[in-house]
Amino acid sequence: MHEKQQRIRYIRVLEKFFNRTLSLLKLENFDKELFIQRTKKNYEDMNRVSAVELHSNYLTQLKDFINKTMYYTQEHSSSFEDERATLLKDANLLQKEKNNKNYKKDKHKKHKYNDGY
């Protein structure tokens, strides 16, 4: 398999893990045991793909989020509310980082070239 294909596959697996975890965290009837069980299963699925070196700021933050999620599944409080709030906040910041490239404000749109037509 080519490096580019392997990199794309790895990025897709990371984002799939992130999306699944986020959907579990946002459930109204959040169940700690179900979250831990499914997160561990998703992590096993993620480990099937070989890791690739990532240089993007977003992707390194994504890996940090996954590591923090796995740490919280092993070391957590009895209610899991603090961990859940922290993970939701980090996920929100991660989504902002991803969308940061898409929404760039034009600073000087009045001063653009106008040829008079």
Which band of pLDDT confidence, cut at 50, 70 and 90, is reported for residue 114?
low
pLDDT digits (tens, 9 = 90+) for 47-93: 898 888 888 889 999 999 999 999 999 988 788 888 899 999 999 99
Distance CA 69, CA 59 (A): 15
C-alpha triplet 29, 31, 33: angle, nearest 5°: 170
Closest CA to 24 of 59, 68, 62, 69: 69
Are the beta carbons of 42 and 21 closer than 8 angstroms? yes
